[in-house]
Chain A
Amino acid sequence: MTLVLLVFIPLAGGLIAGWMGGKDSTACRWISLGALGLDALLALGLAFHYLGGSGNPGDSRWFIEWSQPWIPQFGISFHFAMDGLSLVMVLLTLFLGLIGVGASWTEIQERVGFFHFNFLWILSGVLGVFLAMDLFLFFFFWEVMLVPMYLLIRIWGHENRRYAAVKFFLFTQASGLLMLISIVALALLHPGNGQGVTFDYNVFLQNPLHGPAAKWIMLGFFVAFATKLPAFPFHPWLADAHTEAPTAGSIILAGILLKTGAYGMLRFILPLFPTAVHEFSTTAMILGVIGILYAAILAFAQDDMKRLVAYTSVSHMGFVLLGIFAGTDFALKGVVIQMICHGLSAGAQFMLVGALYERIHTRDMRKMGGLWDAIPGFGVATMFFAMASLGLPGLGNFVAEFMILVGSFQVAPKLTILATLGLIAATLYSLRLIRRAFHGPRQDEKAYPDLTLRERALNGAFALGLIWLGVYPQPAINAVTPTLKSIQSSAATPMAEHNAISGESQ
């Protein structure tokens, strides 16, 4: 029931905030903050209970599970369950959600109620994605978050918002429909549990699908997740959507929505289609490496600060794709840490760009320069998160990318060497950003207010998270280890059987 509440609270909060909107905009903000705060307390409670002293409870796969029939004719149920991976993603979602409300506190002045309605519904959809263990329900939440996100970009975005919003929606929706075909095909082709059609994740997990059908079904899932991630060549929507979205939208786009793609790959693609993944992994890793390098080059060439940060997301997500399809223990752990750290560092960078835009009304780095003297707080904060993004040891991103590279090297040394070049490129584009915006001569002599107390607090929260994960990532790794183990074992066991059978035939 707790899991249902977790999804339901933002949903209800959104309705109340939307309803209050016409009357009192400050109240909306507080309702939004309150709903997410309550949700976060719930999630933290779960985290302390299941990850704290008592360690991993029992042998069961899930910490908690909740299931109610929904459309029994198709074996569809409201099946929520939480394990370490889900819990970590839920915590990240709520953390970034709270920050997002904070970051939009002064930025959003029009239609405040409707803004928070959309914002909370996106979060609710994302939480559902992380907790749903019925594939139909998963798809349901996957789609639920799209329309509010579209409206968020379309209504509160920057100059080119229409184009960006439509592009975002068409990419994600078209790929999502391919996934719908895959989900239905999986349900109908899978022998199930002998009681008719089912969409239940546990059933699919126990008996993964093999053969040519599995390959096509896996590709349907892959296209949807790779679009969301985004991986080359499905990335063109991202730069526009991130650039044009309002700050809170960019934060949750980069911080959470991209992670749903990675989460989907970990949760569904790896364990459900082991043989197909095995055949496909090299292609996917190549796409990952192309993404890392290509996006880094694109980032280097940008004049728009927000666009630059957007492309760095594509580059960092390339590492995630590489790590997932490398599939080794080290790489998968690195992937999860990368998901969290990128969520924090990219979220922080988008927040800073947004705050800067509120002051100087431009994102064009050609019109900046010498800002360090004018607003030193911004300089320090941007420098810190740029360092995090380029992988400075001591901050979380370093741990993550290091682990991914080590893990991938065991499987694909050549590709990993190429991927490592991405770290150099990251240094180049990050330092270039700092130099162009904060060093050099001032473009004007106007005085701008530095970071406010609220902004300092939000940045501090991001920074603390990154330092913690950089110095002591073990708790996060421990939390997801059982999940990753079971993913690996379900991915490996049938392969072993497969090999054994082919071995006998020889």
Chain B
Amino acid sequence: MTSTDFLSLLPFIVLSVLILALMGEISYRRDHALVAWTTLGGFLATLVSVLVASQASPHTQEPLLVVDGFGLFFIALLVLASLPVAALAKDYLEKRPGYREEFYMLLCTATLGGMILVSAIHFATVFIGLELLTLSLFGMIAYTRTSGRSIEAGIKYLVLAAISSSFLIFGLALIYFELGGMGFAEVLEAVKGGDHRETVLLAGLALTLVGAGFKLALVPFHMWTPDIYEGAPAPVTAYIATASKGAMTAVLLRLYLMGGKEMPTGLWIALALIAVASMFAGNLLALLQENIKRILAYSSISHLGYLLVAFLAGGTYAVEAVVYYLVAYMATSLGAFGVVSVLANKSGEIEELDDYRGLGWRHPFQGGVLTAMLLSLAGIPLTAGFVGKFYLVAAGVDGSTWWLLFFLVLNSAIGLYYYLRVVATLYDVNQKEESTFSPLALSGGVVLAILTLVVIGFGVLPGPFIAWIRDHLT
């Protein structure tokens, strides 16, 4: 192993060391606060190591991994998404009975899986990363073992993820059968070449797409989303909605970039149908929900549908739009689920919309943060979501995908209806006095404040970040 190898793989090494350190710590003495702080410190160290690794990038570990600017950006993004999850989980688990410390190990392994995913240039690496992520998530979802719904959600996720993984691996087998390799470059070349091997190859790719679609919760692979979002502990839901989806999006984005931003017509049409179906299904079903976690779950389905529009549009702005939208969406989702997480009390999470009546008056801070996040999801100015939506429209106009834009607009209007319904509930004058929210702990407050600043900052002054994306990622 050369020193360049070592330097470029430093983020992975630091995080792995963190996992081992946590294991040691827990076996020596159970101390929730210590473990949580170690995790936060370890994540910060990983962020620093990303900076170090960027000195050695781009560096390819043939044939499996590449550590380049793109991958490092997404590694940093994943860690930045895991940090607030860890901080939120600290408060959240404190209110729960049972062992708390192993949660952080699972969080770290899941993040490690995500990091492997975003650095993959080979489908074998994708599979390894995905499984590491998924298996850790299964444990995280079912972590609050005293709650029946948590266990139920964990088992559902396990079964469905296993099925989607088997689709994925069968697809990969078909690809390997045809090409004798699974490197991104090889596969993309074969797809572009379009020779006689097409049929089996396409079948393999389609099955692979099922695996990706499942992770991104796109229609028709979205069925698990509401139940798992609802049943999982709120910090874990935040993690699934952001880090897990972000990692998968990065894989697709890398393939898209390596493929020269082009895709075969058949694939384009399939993705366009998936995008439109996701937008409609997500938004229409969200209209019917009375549970805030389910509302956010369905809304996340439609948001991934919006994101696909940028992919499909192609053109100058596609990659920027995807990255900007994804970052805005991740910050916003973390904030929204973060509020649900800090409000949870000893007897469980408060999820029914009816219980949020008048929250904005009783807890102005939490209510204000949730309002900002919902407005950002709805794409109202002064928030990151607004600039994100603008970016999607710019990409769509640039690529002349007018029909998709039309559906995007239509769905934004539908989406507004339920976001506003929640906002209006928060500021309803008839308060519901029975629901007792947990008082705000310091770490939760800091996390929410930072996320709100990010969401508003990216909405008011998007210039520097856009410039950065342009310089580093495209």
Contact = CB atoms under 8 A, between A and B. Distances in A.
A483 to B, nearest CB: 27
Given A71-B462, A146-B380, A177 B413 contact: yes
Contact of B463 (A71, A141, A162, A180): A71
Interface in A241-260: none
Among A143, A162, A170, A181, residue most surrounded by chain B Cβ atoms (within 10 Å):
A181
Given A73-B467, A154-B424, A181 B393 contact: yes
A150 B398 contact: no
Interface residues of B, number: 33
A174 B411 CA distance: 9
Contact of B413 (A140, A141, A170, A181): A170
Given A71-B463, A155-B429, A166-B420, A174 B413 contact: yes
Given A155-B429, A188-B398, A180 B393 contact: yes
Interface in A168-199: 169-170, 173-174, 177-178, 180-181, 184-185, 188
Contacts of B417: 166, 170
A48 interface: no
Contacts of B393: 180-181, 184
Contacts of A166: 417, 420-421
Given A147-B375, A184-B394, A173 B413 contact: yes
Contacts of B380: 143, 146-147
B381 A144 contact: yes
A114 B427 contact: yes
A177 B409 contact: yes
A155 B427 contact: yes
A170 B386 CA distance: 16
A110 B429 contact: yes
B335 to A, nearest CB: 17
Contacts of A69: 463
Nearest to B413: A174
B271 interface: no
Interface string A128-164: 0000000010001101101100110011000000100
Contact of B424 (A72, A136, A165, A180): A165
Contacts, number: 80
User: From DSSP, what is the main secondary structure of chain A's interface residues?
Assistant: helix
A188 B413 contact: no
Contacts of A468: none
Among A69, A72, A184, A185, residue most surrounded by chain B Cβ atoms (within 10 Å):
A184
A123 to B, nearest CB: 16
B470 interface: yes
B54 to A, nearest CB: 22
B413 A150 contact: no
B397 interface: yes
B412 interface: yes
A180 B391 CA distance: 11
A110 B380 CA distance: 26
A378 to B, nearest CB: 29
Nearest to A150: B420
A173 B463 CA distance: 25
B124 interface: no
A188 B397 contact: yes
Interface string B129-151: 00000000000000000000000
Contacts of B14: none
B358 to A, nearest CB: 11
B463 A144 contact: no
Interface in B420-454: 420-421, 423-424, 427-429
B429 A111 contact: yes
Contacts of A147: 375, 380, 423
Contacts of A74: 394, 466
Nearest to A220: B409
B466 A71 contact: yes
A472 interface: no
Contacts of B467: 72-73
A174 B409 contact: yes
B404 to A, nearest CB: 11
Contacts of B390: 136, 180, 184
B410 interface: yes
A110 B427 CA distance: 12
B381 A185 contact: no
A280 interface: no
B382 A144 contact: yes
Task: In the A-B complex, list the 6 residue pairs whose CB atoms are closest, starting with the nearest.
Answer: A174-B413, A177-B409, A143-B381, A71-B463, A184-B397, A140-B381
22 contacts: A70-B461, A72-B467, A114-B427, A150-B420, A150-B424, A151-B423, A154-B427, A155-B424, A166-B417, A170-B413, A173-B412, A173-B413, A174-B412, A177-B413, A178-B409, A180-B393, A181-B393, A181-B397, A184-B393, A188-B394, A188-B397, A188-B398
Given A162-B424, A181-B409, 7 more contacts: A111-B429, A140-B381, A147-B380, A154-B424, A155-B428, A177-B413, A184-B393
